[in-house]
Amino acid sequence: MKSLKNKIALITGGNSGIGYATAKELKDQGATVIITGRRKEAIEKAAEELGVTAMIADQSSVSAIENLAARVKEQFGKIDILFINAGIVGMSTIEMATETLFDEVMAVNFKGAYFTLSKFIPLLNDGASVVFLSSNVASSNHIGSSVYSSSKAALNSVMRIAALELAPRKIRVNAVSPGPTETEILNKVGLDEATLKTIKASLINRIPLNKMGTAGDVAKMVAYFCGDAASFITGSEILMDGGMVLA
């Protein structure tokens, strides 16, 4: 069903994982999709596979975000869907945390996401939908995740305030907070296969539904927020963690 026909969607961090799956889902539902990423080769390859438009942009740089907004405005005019998805993971205990780790995670996950919204507000059509990719760690506590968790908790605060600020234009702002999800992000941490297997098994052990989520699951929820079925939902965070929050 082409429920998003004639909608123009921008997805940050669209060359893999949840961003890639969401680009596919939105396109399948009829939207015209633009994906962004830092690495030219990766983002262009993904765009070719998906049949969508690629634009190179580094979410950690405000000037790059401004350039992206200018290019989108020039090529597409306005947009109807903004999925702020790009993010990185950084783990450290508070005692051992470095300024570099803190700055890197916050630059992409918080500052970058914040200014992506800020710079794209003028390009949003009235009645548009904005979705942040948050995480269940924004509201749960795990050793070593203080910086990452804080970056996502900060996003949720921005989401709620943006929902208020943009309500007069009927622009809805929501967040999807996945729990453990099968994506490339875990493999990028640089752990060997045996360690990864152990981590996944221990995660699944803590999930009442006894499985990890998929990028496709999250993509469908993002698409739901962008469609008419969610026209009365704003300022909401949906936890998609297989019941982990209950355990």
Backbone angles phi, psi at 127, to 5 degrees: 85, 5
> Does residue 124 sit in helix, strand or coil?
strand
Which residue stretches of the chain are H helix?
17-28, 40-50, 62-76, 99-106, 113-120, 146-166, 193-205, 215-226
Confirm if 219 and 22 have CB atoms less than 8 A apart. yes
Provide the 3-class DSSP secondary structure of residue 168. Answer: helix
Question: Which residue shows structure tokens 């740089």?
Answer: 61
DSSP 185: T
Residue at token pair 């998906």: 50
Pick from 147, 141, 127: which is nearest to 234 by CA?
127
**224 flagged as catalytic:** no
Q: Distance (Å, rounded) from C-alpha 40 to C-alpha 43?
A: 5
- Give the burial class of 195: count Cβ atoms within 10 A of its Cβ; 0-12 exposed, 13-18 middle, 19 or more buried: exposed
Sheet holding 32-37, edge to edge: 53-56, 32-37, 8-12, 79-84, 124-133, 172-178, 237-240
User: Which one of 20, 114, 148, 224 is the catalytic residue?
Assistant: 148
Residue with tokens 């929501």: 174
Q: Which sequence positions are flagged as catalytic?
A: 148
